[in-house]
Amino acid sequence: MAERPLRIEAAPQRLTLDLTKTAIIVVDMQNDFCHPEGWLGHIGVDVTPARAPIPHLAKLLPALRKADVPVLWLNWGNRPDRLNLPPKLLHVYKPTGIGTGIGDPLPGSGAHVLEDGSWSAAVVDELAPEPGDIHVAKFRMSGFWDTELDSILRNLAVTTLLFAGVNVDQCVLGTLLDASCLGYDCILLEDCSATTSPDYCFAATVYNVKQCFGFVAQSSEFLTEAAAS
């Protein structure tokens, strides 16, 4: 396949990437994390920051699809029986045994928290996936552990990964770190990422990605350069 180079401004330096070897991984833009009636909203977390990437992704993803860049949705979606989860992971989100933890039904909707196939694990309506998109369920902070993500990317002959989603300091960063260790070139899309953590967590993540693990860019760079190419 002929190369399709795209030059973009990024930090710490300008990049030239090959669109034929590029994919975007959108992490956890799902109802439990981004919808006011999802799990985080139910336990009192303000999900407003987690919704910030939605308008940027709504513009970027159609342009990437038009350029034949694979779109991968990496959502937290556990087995209904939760047998693939260690006890410590269940405990940390329900330490007293009281409340709504992983796999429990949400009051109102009855959707099971972070369960594959449930409303809770579905992508928010504003970013409705297209038929050609690829879905991968994850069960840890990193999407590479105990999943088929790496195999899919290898079969797609992808070497460059764009990262977006929430929480940027947790699941996005965890997946990006593993991708970097596996030899992928990683680009964090800053305006397409967010966190409900304190602002310094976002700042530290951006700093460390630029310093050690890859590059940081804005989605507008892709939109501008793709339109001009």
Q: Is 88 among the residues known to form the active site?
A: no
Catalytic residue among 32, 138, 186, 192: 138
Binning the chain into helix, strand and coil, the percentages to the nearest 5 are 40, 20, 40
Q: Is 28 among the residues known to form the active site?
A: yes
Site of tokens 């992490």: 27
Burial of 40: CB neighbours in 10 Å, binned 0-12, 13-18, 19+: buried
Contact between 48 and 54 (Cβ < 8 Å)? no
Main-chain dihedrals φ then ψ at residue 175, nearest 5 degrees: -70, -40
Catalytic residue among 32, 34, 116, 171: 171
Contact between 90 and 82 (Cβ < 8 Å)? yes
Q: Is 138 among the residues known to form the active site?
A: yes
Contact between 136 and 74 (Cβ < 8 Å)? yes
Contact between 69 and 24 (Cβ < 8 Å)? yes
What is the residue type of 59?
K
Please count the residues of the chain.
229
Q: Which residues are catalytic?
A: 28, 138, 171
